[in-house]
């Protein structure tokens, strides 16, 4: 389960989401909740803190760290970076609260 699937750099959010979806069935129940939240709300990854996103998913923040490591990232910050890069490039639309 801890094999590297996505390197920490050079991938678009869509590729990260595909890797996460591919691992969904193998995740623990809590990590699966975090992953499901990310898959349903990918825009939140780039604009919300780990505490905010964990509260929204009803899991502990460390669950997001474990989820990120499952798909090959060193931690949540590395997992979040492709989503933040999309924001910087203006390629992603976000809810009004993020504007």
The structural domains of the chain, with segments of one domain joined by +, span 13-90
Query: Taking all residues of the chain, what is their mean pLDDT, rounded to a whole number?
Result: 83
**Per-residue pLDDT reduced to its tens digit, 68-93:** 998 899 999 999 999 988 888 886 65
pLDDT band with cut points at 50, 70 and 90 for residue 26: very high
Query: Distance of alpha carbon 74 from its chain centroid, rounded?
Result: 12
Q: pTM for the complete prediction? A: 0.78
Cβ atoms of residues 69 and 94 within 8 Å = no
Q: What is the pLDDT of residue 25?
A: 93
pLDDT band with cut points at 50, 70 and 90 for residue 99: very low
**Per-residue pLDDT reduced to its tens digit, 43-62:** 899 899 999 999 999 999 99
84's enclosing H/E stretch is helix 76-89
Looking at the domain 13-90, which fold is it? Arc Repressor Mutant, subunit A (1.10.10)
**For residue 66, pLDDT beyond 90:** yes
């Amino acid at each position: 389960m801890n094999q590297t699937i996505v390197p920490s750099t050079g991938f678009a959010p869509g590729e990260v989401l595909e890797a996460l979806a591919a691992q969904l069935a193998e995740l623990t129940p809590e990590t699966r909740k975090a992953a499901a939240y990310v898959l349903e709300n990918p825009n939140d990854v780039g604009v919300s803190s780990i505490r905010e996103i964990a509260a929204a998913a009803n899991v502990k923040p460390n669950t997001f760290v474990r989820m990120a490591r499952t798909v090959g990232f060193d931690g949540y910050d590395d997992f979040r970076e492709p989503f933040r890069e999309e924001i910087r490039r203006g390629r992603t639309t976000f809810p009004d609260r993020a504007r």
